[in-house]
Amino acid sequence: MTPDWSLLAPHRPVDSGGDQYVPPPSNIGDAVARWVLASGAPVLLGGPTGVGKSTELAQIAAQLQGERAVCLIQLDRFENMRRLEVEGMLSRVACGLWPRRPI
């Protein structure tokens, strides 16, 4: 069977628990989750488009839900990130935390 590479969309994160998720060999998600549980310090993930940052954050959020209050807000699914200004970002974050409030 030849894979249909046109089905790949590296700009779209894989949902947490999805059958398309393949853990990276580095197990970075587990390491970040342990770091957050141990220290509570902020964590910055960076890298080029399509390498799995958002996918790993979704996995980390799922791992931490039993231990911490977790809210994963995927702004890029709602907003044009190149045009988004601080006020718009904060409004979306607030709506993510309190979904019944209108924008």
pTM of the model: 0.66
Cβ(33)–Cβ(63) below 8 Å? yes
Q: pLDDT tens, position by position, for the chain (103 residues)?
A: 787 877 777 777 777 667 777 888 888 888 888 988 898 777 777 778 778 888 888 888 888 888 888 887 777 777 888 888 889 888 888 887 776 545 5
- Reference 72, options 49, 91, 92; nearest CA is 92
Distance CA 78, CA 80 (A): 7
Residues with Cβ within 8 Å of residue 41, at least 6 apart in sequence = 35
Token digits for 23? 């853990």
